[in-house]
Amino acid sequence: MTKIIVRTEGHYEVHETPFTRAYDWYPACVILECECGEKLALTGSSTAAACRQCGANHSNVIQDIQEREGRLQHETTHPWYYDLQSQADQHLRDEVAYPEQDSPWRYNDITSGTTKC
């Protein structure tokens, strides 16, 4: 009998740096143990559904992953629309941490009229 060892849902992880955020997508993944004892890691985009050791077909697991990812909540697939308060908090922290206008982390607007024509 095939046994699921680990199942993770698709999700974004947020990485903050001064004045910016990066969202990295981690697709849903299932680690299963085949009847023969072989361990496989499958995602919704896995192309090999057969066990390398015994040849058992696990395409139904891949199909299940794809169906689950299709049913993810909008907040999970588009977190940048929902974390406006934490974005505002980050902006305030960054303003305090990097107050100098010439900080390499700050955006210097070249159109602000500081150049002479």
Would the pTM count as exceeding 0.75?
no
The H or E element spanning position 104 is none
Q: Where are the beta strands (DSSP E) in 1-117?
A: 3-8, 11-17, 20-26, 29-33, 39-43
Domain with 44, as residue range(s), is 3-97
Can you give the pLDDT of all 117 residues of the chain as single tens digits? 788 899 888 888 888 777 777 888 888 899 999 989 999 988 888 888 888 889 888 888 888 888 887 777 777 777 777 777 777 777 777 777 766 666 665 555 555 555 555
How far apart are the C-alpha atoms of 84 and 78, rounded to whole Å? 12
**How many structural domains does the chain have?**
1
Is residue 18 in some structural domain? Answer: yes
Domain assignment present for 117 = no
106 assigned to some structural domain: no
CA nearest 66: which of 83, 49, 87? 49
In a domain, 110, yes or no: no
